[in-house]
Structure 1
Amino acid sequence: MSNFTDLQAKRRSTYVIGKNTDLSKEEITEALREAAKNVPSSFNSQTTRLILVFDDANERVWKEIHDVQKDVLDGAVWERMSGVIQGAGQGVGTILFFEDRDAVKENIPAAESQQNLYKQHNDAFQQYSAWLALTELGLGGTLQHFNIGYEQGFDKVFRELLNLPESYEMVAQMPFGSIEQEYEAKDYIDSDLEVQVFTEVK
């Protein structure tokens, strides 16, 4: 098992991904299942659902995203993000992160506003865990947020495409694959600003 801080340092946003890996779909799936099982959630509600798409399903997901976003984004934004979308479909697969709205209502004993906050925390935990699991496998990925909007129906096409329950609300996508480009240097803010320590208060 890799050292946790080493994995954190190795985890980076990888936009240029490919299919150059000896890992099977089963090995990747098992690693992600094992990681997901041990992720904390508010009230142990376990509301997050990771949907893995490979092969034709992966290509279809990113085609749907491309076809929608080309009519939504414009100018310089589309110029930049169209490359991200096209590159995402070139990898091994994608993790689609959903929150099960029925499970949120049933398993989080709190007001709706708090439920919405807690489910975002649940999903964020799972996203980071999955990203570290991919890093440990030697794979790279990014976190994307296309077609997000349950109330507006923006993610409906993916429920229909994958025959998912109506209660599944898409929160993010994580396309992943072999790392095909060197990372650029990363800037860090001052650690004393990021992590502040107090031993006394006024």
Structure 2
Amino acid sequence: MTKDFYSAVKERRSIYAISKEKPVSDERIQEVVEFAVNHAPSAFNSQSSRAVVLLGEQHDKLWNLTKETLREIVPAENFGPTEEKMEMFKAGAGTVLFFEDENVIKGLQEQFPLYSDKFPEFSLQSGGMLQFVVWTALEQEGFGATLQHYNPLIDEKVRSEWNVPESWTLLAQMPFGTPVAPAGDKEFQPINERVKVFN
């Protein structure tokens, strides 16, 4: 890794134009995701987040599966843009699937009933932090990525195809690959309207 933390955070953008070229090995991709899963924070150290990494043909299979699922829903005359988007994601090198384990959440609800209604919310926060860590780490390795949400439409097919445990709930999909075009310009709201400091 050659970028400092601030640079990596700033340059982590939604990159849609990606290729199957990989600047690092599959083993390094696995290492990055495993590191993120181990070290992303979670409430009560619950470690409820889960990830599935799809590379090569398995990545292609996901976006073919998603395309065919959407074909059943989107009218044929309007399907062109949807198909183009699926092919754009498929053009990448891999996808990370993000899940939360409902069994962990239920266990915490039973153990700490006072916070029972909060644990699903805490779980989503944990999942979001993991997604950010993985996304930023992939950017540091030379990849571009986006975060997609085709759940719950594809949940059962994903569960069946990759033998995902019943207790894992799919939150998001992150297709990634080597960028072939930069992200668009990003406008920022005035920071003094978004951050308040009192001292």
Relative to the length of structure 1, the TM-score reads 0.88
> Once the 2 structures are TM-superposed, how far is the Cα of residue 14 of structure 1 from its aligned partner?
0.6
Instruction: Return the match for 2:151 from 141, 144, 147.
Output: 147
Q: Give the match's secondary structure for 1:72.
A: coil
Q: 1:74 to 1:41 in 2, by over 3 A?
A: farther
Q: 1:73 to 1:121 in 2, by over 3 A?
A: farther
Q: Residues 23 and 143 of structure 2 are in contact (CA less than 8 Å); yes or no, is this contact kept in structure 1?
A: no
Equivalent positions of 1:31-180 (< 5 A) are 31-74=32-75, 79-107=80-108, 109-110=112-113, 112-148=116-152, 154-180=154-180
Count of paired positions: 195
> Once the 2 structures are TM-superposed, how far is the Cα of residue 89 of structure 1 from its aligned partner?
1.1
Greater CA drift, 83-92 or 104-113: 104-113
Q: Give the match's secondary structure for 1:158.
A: helix
> Once the 2 structures are TM-superposed, how far is the Cα of residue 23 of structure 1 from its aligned partner?
1.3
C-alpha distance in 1, partners of 2:145/2:23?
17
Greater CA drift, 15-24 or 126-135: 15-24
> Once the 2 structures are TM-superposed, how far is the Cα of residue 166 of structure 1 from its aligned partner?
1.0
Give 5+ residue unaligned stretches, structure 1: none
Q: Residues 146 and 176 of structure 2 are in contact (CA less than 8 Å); yes or no, is this contact kept in structure 1?
A: yes
Greater CA drift, 2-11 or 131-140: 2-11
Q: Residues 144 and 172 of structure 1 are in contact (CA less than 8 Å); yes or no, is this contact kept in structure 2?
A: yes
**Which residue identity does 2:8 align to in structure 1?**
L
Deviation per CA, 1:122-152: give whole Å up to 9, x if none.
1101000000110110100000000326xxx
Q: Give the match's secondary structure for 1:113.
A: helix
> Once the 2 structures are TM-superposed, how far is the Cα of residue 73 of structure 1 from its aligned partner?
3.7
Aligned to 1:187: 187
Give 5+ residue unaligned stretches, structure 2: none
Relative to the length of structure 2, the TM-score reads 0.89
Aligned to 1:197: 197
